[in-house]
Structure 1
Amino acid sequence: MPPVEPQGKLDQFFLLSQDLFCCIDFAGTLLSINPTFESLLGYQAEALLGRPCGVVVEPRDHPVIEAALARVCRGEKINAFDICALAVDGRRVWLEVSASAGEQVIYVIARDISRRKAVEKQLRRNQRLFRIAGETAHIGGWYMDLAVGLPIWSEEVCRLHDMPVGHQPTLEEAIAFYTPSSRSRIQAVFTNCCEKGISFDEELEIITQQGRRRWVRVIGRAVRDELGKIIQVQGSTQDITERKDTERQLALLERSVESSTNGVVIVDAQRPDLPIVYVNAAFERITGYSREAALGRNCRFLQGIDTDPATQVQLRKGIKEQREVHVVIRNYRRNGAPFWNDLYISPVRDEAGVVTHFIGAQNDITAQREYQAQLSHNANHDALTGLPNRLLLDQRLAQGCLLARRYQRYLAVLFIDLDDFKPINDTLGHEVGDYILLEVAKRLEEELRPWDTVARFGGDEFIVLLPDLAHEDDVLQVVERLLARVSAPYWYRSNELRITASIGIATNDGTIQTPRQLIQQADLAMYKAKRRGRNTFQWYTDELNRKVTERVNLRHALQQAIEQEQFELHYQPQIHHSGRVAGV
């Protein structure tokens, strides 16, 4: 078929048009093409004329061509449609096609829209990615044209409100989803954005269609036309309920830690020297160091010269092995005062099991330690004089015997009893008596060596323990000093008082089986000193023990004979010269 040449007014348009132009018959056969058709697709006119127009169209678009051709043949008007053409070199060229029927031919105009199609494809790809990102991060988009006044919600915004996809609320309905405490805020910032173009970024609470409470982050900004007039407000809504719940839990945890009576300190395990990154208020109260003064430092700044080295080693070992540690350590406050710290340290691990931090819980047990020390002191010391009591004396006595036996030394026990103390106590009162006892205790301590022991045995009785003597006679110098010191005048409220003491001495080389027997022996010797005139001393001897034993045995035998009625009474009457009984 010979090519159809355009005539008249179409001639110039046919040749100079930047769009593709061709003529086809009602069977779809190409009759003519313009130069732009040839240059864009790379075909020569001779190769195409007389062939079906579908040869330059991608096969999947053939049904589109056939449907459009049929409608034109029926005299119907068709709207522009898109097809994908195939160039000689295999390129795909998107064309927007318009067609109209003449008397014998169909005129077809096609515009290259490949760039627009590429933009649309990229836009669809971006929209798909944004939709995936929005669904993943629970972020949805919205906008409202001010001329229309109706918000347009994305699918994700609909889901956030538990509404069906595609739901388009009125502005009042959209605002009504917010809780009463949040509603006034969103109304105010949205109005400012619409009227003044002020952007907003708010975290507010909504109640969904199903009654669920959700926290959302709402961001909005104004869109202006070329004249600067606000024509639209657009923004995003993100579900931040999970983050808010986490923040509330963290806030609750922080308030709990801050209000704890125990000190809490957190150090960074992944930085050199384990710097402190957090301390609570109790730490500041216990140590006296402010938060600013503690942050960035290693916890050892609380230690001092008296801190137990073994405890320090235990701490370092536990931290190195990344395990829990419990110690009681002597720390120091900012003012230099020491305190006992009952310290628990625990490692904090991340999801991979790596230790990222250590948490230390402090408990100031200084008062408890002091109370325990006081209880221990009271259990082992006399309440009035503060001297060791019988319990502690027994311990010291056993230690002294062990020392004497191990090093071939001697141990001496002095039993001291104040002479005529009872009349002073009874006549002058217990206040004076207590004063005398305190002064005697003080004088005895001042005359002894640091490792000697003076104990109150009871009432006006004192025991002096002298360990580590080279010779038994070494005790005499001490006894003479004690007698002289005790007998020196006592002044009470300008009144002079005098008192003396009797001392019994017992010594041993540590081989005695029962150390407490030394106290009994010294007691016997003390009574002998009292019988010898008082204000003197006497040694314990076996003869003294024998005599005492005999007296005890005799007293026991007499008492037993009385109880068993073993005595008989024999008597002879005395007769007066007158013959009467004058006596027995």
Structure 2
Amino acid sequence: MNLSPLPLAVFVVDATGSITSWNRACEKLAGYGAQDIRNRGLDTIIAFDDAAAVNRVADRVNADSTGELICADGRRVPVRVTVAPQSLDPDQPGTYSVIVVPRSGLAPTRYALIQDLPIADIIEELPCVFYVIDQSGHLLLWNHQLEDALEMTSDELPTYNVKNFFDEAVQAKIVQKILEAFEEGTSSHESDLIGRHGKRTPFLFHCARTNLGSLPVVFGTGLDITARKEAEHGLRVRERAMYSSVNAIVITCCEDADNVIEYVNPAFEQITGYTLAEVKGKNPRFMRVDDCDVDERQRIHDALARQQSVRAVLRNRRKNGEIFWNDLRIDPVASMEGKVTHFVGVISDVTEAKHYERRLQHLAHHDALTGLANRTLLQERLKSAIDSATARRKQGALAFLDLDNFKHINDTFGHEAGDAVLREIALRLRASMREEDTVARLGGDEFVLVIAEQPDLAQLGMLVERIRQGVSAPIVVDGKEIQPGTSIGVSLFPQDGRNVDQIMRAADAAMYHAKTLGRNNVQFYSDELNQVVHQHLLLEASLSRAIRNRELVLGYQPKVDLRTGRVVGAEALVRWQHPVDGIIPPDVFIPVAEQTGLIVPLGDWVIDEACRTLRALGALGIDDFVIAVNLSARQLRQRRFVNRLAETLARHGVAPGRLELEVTESQLMDHPEEAREALAQLKLLGVRLSIDDFGTGYSSLSHLQRFPVDCIKIDRSFLGGTGDLHNGHAVITRAIIALGHNLQLQVIAEGVETREQLTFLRDHDCDQMQGYYFSAALARDGLQDMLRRDTRLDM
């Protein structure tokens, strides 16, 4: 930009002497246009007389210089040159004003030059307020900048005492400063000028005493320091923020290619234990932990060398020697010239977060009770072992362990004892395995071993057998000896599968095979076992189709009242009529349905079909006949089972009391409180309830008494074969009948096949029986015919 016109030729130059701006008097005097002057060196325009002795603009400040102005047309005009230390161009701070005046004859002194200046014009163009005050405190002279600050006209200003331009709280101080200038010659102070409309502007005032003729006065300038005040306030806020920050802040100064600490805040002292006095002048590297986080530290070093920002997470050492994790962010700070002079580092102590992260990492991959690997970590380790075995042409093994009687341990000794057993078995398994092997717990009483590189199958077999024996050794808990046992299934990789899922399914199948062979033994996966598993999967798929295609049928085994010989009910027994394989018995497909969850739709179908039969019998006038349906544990646990059952009964128009639901003793004792609540809801619905296979589980009489059941069924195993009722079976059977009657329950015997069994039951007041002695299961038509003819038991 060009300077506003002045009656003097004035150049503005930077510290190197390069011309940055000028006024029109320069163009008139030297004859140059704007394009000719800009960025030219001062020495190409002015030939100084002492150029050889003085070559820096700064050295000519406040000194009288002479020389020749080199004009555009080649003329040389003798001039006086005065260099002022401040630029008259407010948009170009840090520059110099060069005032050029033509001369003739000898050069005048500096004071003579000042006398030649047009003072009034200069005062009006000053970048500050200017004022002259008499001893009464009134203005004699001022420039327009003062009028702008006070929002007043030139006619109004003389009528005010200058103290009234300030806040009332500081007026006494203002008067004191003016008197100080009159008495001592000068004074300075900072204060806000308050305009007529309330505008407040902070100024830095400088006052000096002089005389106008014989009148003592004080003149002065006021520099608007709004920007400085705002900057100072910002600095105070930022300084307070750094001081109060919970994160440690370190400011380092770049000295001789090193970064030494210049400032640390209180949070740094709290986190590290070092005070500012102890660390000032040191490189922050003194806190590092040797041989730790080498890569992170190198990243920091490289970033600082490039003067770039960097963030890293690394360990440092506190004053007390304790190691802590810190999340460090470092940023460079540059000067106005763009040179990096400092670095600011912000340290967050993330030690607790790191420890918590490690705990979460451990919990995410380890079982909480035993500390063994969990399913997630097991699958990672197994995949790695399979890949390694495949690549190195080696052989590994996966062993599934399932405790044989863990439910009995929990029921007999309590869950705390059960947990103690699991922890002890985990310790035994760890002790039996090598460092490179993996021991995992999948939950409950299932453990898995990943055994790497086992070239000798015989040695592997001996190892697994030793593990089985070790697990089966007695465990003492609270002075009581507990005898665990385990069934183990083993698969080999890569021959039994190429991926994690195949290997785990093979070992799982081998383990179930071990259980079917009597438990507490070891079985290896084989092609034959694979065929069994394959048949199991086919059966699962076929069963799902059979439910959809209505390949299932119900047979009804009659129940006989042992006092009248009359048929009073029947048990619904499901059969599968396979289109290719013919009749498939329930002991083949019911376990598959239980394992896969198909038991739920299968059970719903059985109940619906039984209700259909009860409705058909009702149409024949048979309204007191009861059909019993076996209920699975999955059905009993379903939340909406009771609602669905009520809807089914209502849809068929069957009274709830004509349907009896049979649950096994083991189902009730797995979760007795949940079972009691579920049975209570069924009882409210009005259906009859019975306990099937009574005497084969681990019943608690206190629980049994609380179950809202109507009858109990004696398991066929207690009747024995022909002639067996004179041994221990008879004692148990009599006890069950007596127990049932004492609890006001009906007692039903199933599996009755001989006259001797019938006579025994009748002699001991058993209420009902069912079995081949009277009738096998009948189709619906056969049952209806039997009831229509009133077929009875030959008593």
Whether 1:179 aligns to 2:167 is yes
Q: Could you tell me which residue of structure 1 aligns to residue 372 of structure 2?
A: 387
Q: Summarize the alignment of residues 356-367 of structure 1 with structure 2, pairs less than 5 Å apart.
A: 356-367=341-352
Q: 2:190 aligns with which of 198, 203, 210?
A: 203
Give the deviation of 1:465 after TM superposition: 0.7
Q: Could you tell me which residue of structure 2 aligns to residue 37 of structure 1?
A: none
Moved more, 232-241 or 554-563: 554-563
Give the deviation of 1:251 after TM superposition: 1.9
Q: Could you tell me which residue of structure 1 aligns to residue 55 of structure 2?
A: none
Q: Name the larger-Rg structure.
A: 1
Q: Could you tell me which residue of structure 2 aligns to residue 479 of structure 1?
A: 464
How far apart, CA to CA, are the structure 2 residues paired with 1:429 and 1:320?
66
Give the conservation status (yes or no) of the 8 Å contact 1:141–1:157.
no
Structure 1 428/199 Cα, relative in aligned 2: closer, same or farther at 3 Å?
farther
Give the conservation status (yes or no) of the 8 Å contact 2:137–2:162.
no
Q: Summarize the alignment of residues 300-319 of structure 1 with structure 2, pairs less than 5 Å apart.
A: 300-305=285-290, 307-319=292-304
Give the conservation status (yes or no) of the 8 Å contact 1:401–1:511.
no
Structure 1 187/417 Cα, relative in aligned 2: closer, same or farther at 3 Å?
same
How far apart, CA to CA, are the structure 1 residues paired with 2:456 and 2:294?
41
SS at match of 1:450: coil
SS at match of 2:452: strand
SS at match of 2:370: coil
How far apart, CA to CA, are the structure 2 residues paired with 1:368 and 1:118?
75
How far apart, CA to CA, are the structure 2 residues paired with 1:133 and 1:368?
65
SS at match of 1:473: helix
Deviation track 1:365-390 (CA, whole Å, cap 9, x = no partner) reads 44444444444433333233232222
Q: Which runs of 5 or more residues in structure 1 are unaligned?
A: 1-116, 224-230, 570-580
Structure 1 583/191 Cα, relative in aligned 2: closer, same or farther at 3 Å?
closer
Q: 2:230 aligns with which of 242, 245, 265?
A: 245
Q: Could you tell me which residue of structure 2 aligns to residue 404 of structure 1?
A: 389
Give the deviation of 1:424 after TM superposition: 1.0
Give the deviation of 1:121 after TM superposition: 3.0
| Cα RMSD (Å) | 4.4
SS at match of 2:498: coil
Give the deviation of 1:236 after TM superposition: 4.4
- Counterpart of 2:126, as a letter, is E
Give the conservation status (yes or no) of the 8 Å contact 1:192–1:198.
yes
Q: Could you tell me which residue of structure 1 aligns to residue 426 of structure 2?
A: 441
Q: Could you tell me which residue of structure 2 aligns to residue 36 of structure 1?
A: none
Whether 1:328 aligns to 2:341 is no
Q: 1:297 aligns with which of 267, 278, 282?
A: 282
Give the conservation status (yes or no) of the 8 Å contact 1:505–1:522.
yes
Whether 1:212 aligns to 2:202 is no
Give the deviation of 1:254 after TM superposition: 2.6
- Counterpart of 1:238, as a letter, is G
Q: Could you tell me which residue of structure 2 aligns to residue 427 of structure 1?
A: 412
Q: Could you tell me which residue of structure 1 aligns to residue 526 of structure 2?
A: 541
Give the conservation status (yes or no) of the 8 Å contact 1:201–1:220.
yes
- Counterpart of 1:216, as a letter, is F
Moved more, 292-301 or 455-464: 292-301
Deviation track 1:514-571 (CA, whole Å, cap 9, x = no partner) reads 23322233233334444555444233333343455567768988996743476589xx
How many pairs are equivalent? 447
Give the deviation of 1:324 after TM superposition: 3.1
Deviation track 1:273-307 (CA, whole Å, cap 9, x = no partner) reads 12233334444444444334443333333432354
Q: TM-score, normalised by structure 1?
A: 0.63
Q: Could you tell me which residue of structure 2 aligns to residue 135 of structure 1?
A: 126
Q: Could you tell me which residue of structure 1 aligns to residue 112 of structure 2?
A: 121
SS at match of 1:395: helix
Deviation track 1:134-177 (CA, whole Å, cap 9, x = no partner) reads 935x37575655xx77676665995685577899858x711111
Q: TM-score, normalised by structure 2?
A: 0.48
Give the deviation of 1:454 after TM superposition: 0.8
Give the conservation status (yes or no) of the 8 Å contact 1:141–1:237.
yes
Deviation track 1:42-69 (CA, whole Å, cap 9, x = no partner) reads xxxxxxxxxxxxxxxxxxxxxxxxxxxx
How far apart, CA to CA, are the structure 1 residues paired with 2:265 and 2:328?
15
How far apart, CA to CA, are the structure 1 residues paired with 2:110 and 2:379?
102
How far apart, CA to CA, are the structure 2 residues paired with 1:213 and 1:265?
38
SS at match of 1:513: coil
SS at match of 1:275: strand
How far apart, CA to CA, are the structure 2 residues paired with 1:306 and 1:394?
33
Q: What percentage of residue pairs aligned between the two structures are identical? A: 34
Structure 1 243/409 Cα, relative in aligned 2: closer, same or farther at 3 Å?
same
Q: Could you tell me which residue of structure 2 aligns to residue 41 of structure 1?
A: none
Structure 1 134/328 Cα, relative in aligned 2: closer, same or farther at 3 Å?
farther
Moved more, 124-133 or 256-265: 124-133
Give the conservation status (yes or no) of the 8 Å contact 1:216–1:237.
no
Q: 2:576 aligns with which of 540, 563, 566?
A: 563
Whether 1:499 aligns to 2:484 is yes
Q: Could you tell me which residue of structure 1 aligns to residue 587 of structure 2?
A: none
Give the conservation status (yes or no) of the 8 Å contact 2:404–2:519.
yes
Give the deviation of 1:412 after TM superposition: 1.4
- Counterpart of 2:171, as a letter, is R
Whether 1:457 aligns to 2:442 is yes
Q: Could you tell me which residue of structure 1 aligns to residue 44 of structure 2?
A: none
Q: Could you tell me which residue of structure 2 aligns to residue 106 of structure 1?
A: none
Structure 1 400/568 Cα, relative in aligned 2: closer, same or farther at 3 Å?
closer
Structure 1 504/370 Cα, relative in aligned 2: closer, same or farther at 3 Å?
same
Structure 1 426/238 Cα, relative in aligned 2: closer, same or farther at 3 Å?
same
Deviation track 1:250-278 (CA, whole Å, cap 9, x = no partner) reads 22333344444444433334553122333
How far apart, CA to CA, are the structure 2 residues paired with 1:379 and 1:165?
82
Q: 1:352 aligns with which of 337, 340, 350?
A: 337
- Counterpart of 1:523, as a letter, is D
Structure 1 285/270 Cα, relative in aligned 2: closer, same or farther at 3 Å?
same
* Higher RCO (CA < 8 A, seq sep 6+): 1
SS at match of 1:462: strand
SS at match of 1:496: strand
Give the conservation status (yes or no) of the 8 Å contact 1:443–1:485.
yes
